[in-house]
Amino acid sequence: MECIFCKIVKGEIPSKKVLENENFLAFHDINPIAPIHILIIPKEHFENFSDTPKETFAKMSDFIKAVAKELDISDYRLITNNGKNAGQEVFHLHIHMIANPGEKLKWPKLV
């Protein structure tokens, strides 16, 4: 069964895109925890951080910087959850980019 993020990549499920290239997609989280809450995913399916090749992360790093530039932000938090017990709900690697421009981010309670 195909995951929800793979369906978003294919355009089967709509998303509010921020930036896209041949390898990655950035879009707004549907349940934001801050004024800016973006999900950044590789288009290729990798279950989590542990399953993702280092070459993908090298390319993803530049894409994340491009997303920040597109949003005109310099202060942001990046989070990824690796596995169910760490809070991962969608098993397709995704990085949360969270920002509250002009204000300090608070650390949410981890449950």
Average pLDDT over residues 47-51: 96
Q: Is 28 a catalytic residue?
A: no
Instruction: Identify residue 76 by its one-letter amino acid code.
Output: Y
Residue 27 burial class via C-beta count within 10 angstroms: exposed 0-12, middle 13-18, buried 19 and up:
buried
* Domain 4-99, classified CATH 3.30.428.10, yes or no: yes
68-102 per-position pLDDT tens digit: 999 999 999 999 999 999 999 999 999 999 999 98
Pair of tokens at residue 22: 């041949």
Catalytic residue among 28, 45, 92, 94: 94
pLDDT > 60? residue 109: no
Dist CA 15 CA 9 (whole Å): 9
Would you call 19 helix, strand, or coil by DSSP?
strand
Pair of tokens at residue 106: 């608070």
Contact by Cβ (8 Å): 81, 33: no
